[in-house]
Amino acid sequence: MKLEYAEMILAPLVTEKSTALKDKQRLLCFKVHRDANKIMVKKAVEELFKTKVEWVRILNFQGKEKRHGRYVGRRADWKKAYVKLSPDVKMIEYIEVI
């Protein structure tokens, strides 16, 4: 399965922790496709945002089991990627891409 760059990065994760990491350590946080790996994420961020990436870390999350009354369901598994930008490039603002 060949993923396009636009399909690989699903959404930026905007939380208190990710905002602090963005401001202090130049780290961006994205929700990425489950089939994406570090190399694919690095190329996708470099192409979509026209920037230079230093390194990428990927975390796998297991979906939680949720109940609705007597029915039990399960959320989907997902991946999160931390992307470190090179020190010589401008920080990305998510609003610029839209």
pLDDT value at 96 more than 60: no
Domains of the chain plus CATH, in order, are 5-97 (3.30.70.330)
The predicted model scores a pTM of: 0.86
CA atoms within 13 A on the CB side of 46: 12
Residue 95 confidence (pLDDT): 59
* CA 63 to each of CA 26, 73, 93: distance values in angstroms, whole numbers, following the listed order: 28, 10, 29
pLDDT digits (tens, 9 = 90+) for 48-84: 999 999 999 999 999 999 999 999 999 999 999 999 9
| Distance of alpha carbon 60 from the chain centroid | 11
- Nearby residues of 68 by Cβ (< 8 Å), 6 or more positions away: none
Residue 98 confidence (pLDDT): 45
